[in-house]
């Protein structure tokens, strides 16, 4: 389908190409209202829809959502089973929204650990949206950053032993090529909801120089207004990536070109 028209408010400064979100607080949001935790996860789907649509409308290039961590498998069996059912429901019901907004869906993580039915719906949605030219939506599923690095190192060792890679040539960029999705640039902005001040094993390699923004509201309450607040905060910051820039104006663009190999 054709590229959607971009409508972006003026936030007063730089705009992130890649936003990553730790969607926290669904269960707490429900418990504070005397509801079952799973109802918070259901309400969180509405936030996913609104944030995805708004990011696509504004011209965000990539949006990565921390949907299910490797550690989440430790939760009660009933909660995990229900979360997997909600994932299937989301993948089926939101295909029309993804197509309408020209969004291409993909996923990162140890996807083979997902239930077969959920994985099948994920593959169907990936295939249906593959030709879309707008924003890239990545779901981090059964994802852990330490696991990602461990998996990458295993592949590096395999290729070195097979003679496909010289161990002496291994550097940061070599390792990056073995990550789950090396083609997507690092996130410019990482948002976490529910007021927690930690990364929770999310994109630790990729978020080394990301700007962090913590919202006090739980994920089911994080909607367009809260997203815009995060973007205004991002626009007000000057990114130096560990170095000094004389004018400060081009540091963000130069760093992004460097990460893309341009």
**Which of the residues 72, 151, 159, 245 is marked catalytic?**
72
Q: Which two structure tokens, joined as six digits, stand for 202?
A: 């999310």
CA nearest to 230, candidates 53, 42, 9, 25: 9
The DSSP call for residue 163 is T
| Separation of alpha carbons 185 and 64, rounded Å | 11
**Which of the residues 24, 102, 186, 188 is marked catalytic?**
24
**CA angle 68–71–74, rounded 5-degree value:** 105
User: Which residues of 40-183 form beta strands (DSSP E)?
Assistant: 62-69, 104-108, 136-143
| Diameter over CA atoms, the chain | 59
The alpha carbon dihedral of 230, 235, 236, 242 has a sign of positive
Q: Which two structure tokens, joined as six digits, stand for 257?
A: 């070109």
Neighbours of 33 (CB within 10 A): 12
CB-based contact 146:109 (threshold 8 Å) = no
Residue 149 CB burial class (10 angstroms; 0-12, 13-18, ≥19) = middle
| Separation of alpha carbons 76 and 92, rounded Å | 25
Q: Is 101 a catalytic residue?
A: no
18-22 vs 136-143, strand pairing mode: unpaired
| Separation of alpha carbons 118 and 115, rounded Å | 5
Active site positions, annotated = 24, 72
């Amino acid at each position: 389908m054709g590229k959607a028209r971009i409508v972006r408010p003026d936030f007063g400064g730089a705009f992130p190409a890649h936003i990553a979100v730790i969607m926290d607080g669904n269960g707490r949001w429900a418990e504070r209202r005397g509801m079952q935790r799973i109802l918070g996860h259901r309400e969180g789907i509405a936030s996913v829809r609104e944030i995805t649509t708004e990011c696509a409308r504004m011209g965000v290039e990539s949006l990565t959502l921390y949907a299910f961590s490797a550690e989440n498998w430790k939760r009660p069996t009933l909660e995990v089973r229900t979360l997997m059912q909600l994932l299937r429901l989301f993948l089926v019901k939101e295909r029309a929204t993804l197509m309408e907004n020209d969004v291409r869906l993909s996923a990162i993580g140890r996807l083979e650990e997902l239930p077969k039915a959920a994985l099948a719906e994920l593959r169907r949605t990936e295939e249906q949206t593959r030709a879309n030219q707008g924003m890239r939506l990545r779901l981090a599923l059964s994802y852990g950053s330490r696991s990602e690095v461990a998996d990458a190192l295993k592949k590096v060792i395999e290729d070195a032993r097979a003679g496909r890679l010289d161990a002496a040539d291994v550097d940061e960029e070599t390792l990056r090529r073995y990550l789950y999705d090396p083609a997507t640039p690092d996130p410019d902005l990482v948002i976490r909801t529910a007021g927690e001040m930690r990364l929770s094993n999310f994109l630790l390699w990729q978020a080394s120089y990301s700007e962090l923004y913590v919202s006090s509201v739980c994920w089911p309450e994080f909607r367009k207004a809260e997203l815009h607040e995060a973007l205004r905060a991002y626009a007000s910051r000057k990114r130096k990536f560990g170095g000094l820039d004389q004018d400060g104006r081009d540091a963000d663009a130069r760093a992004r070109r460097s990460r893309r190999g341009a």
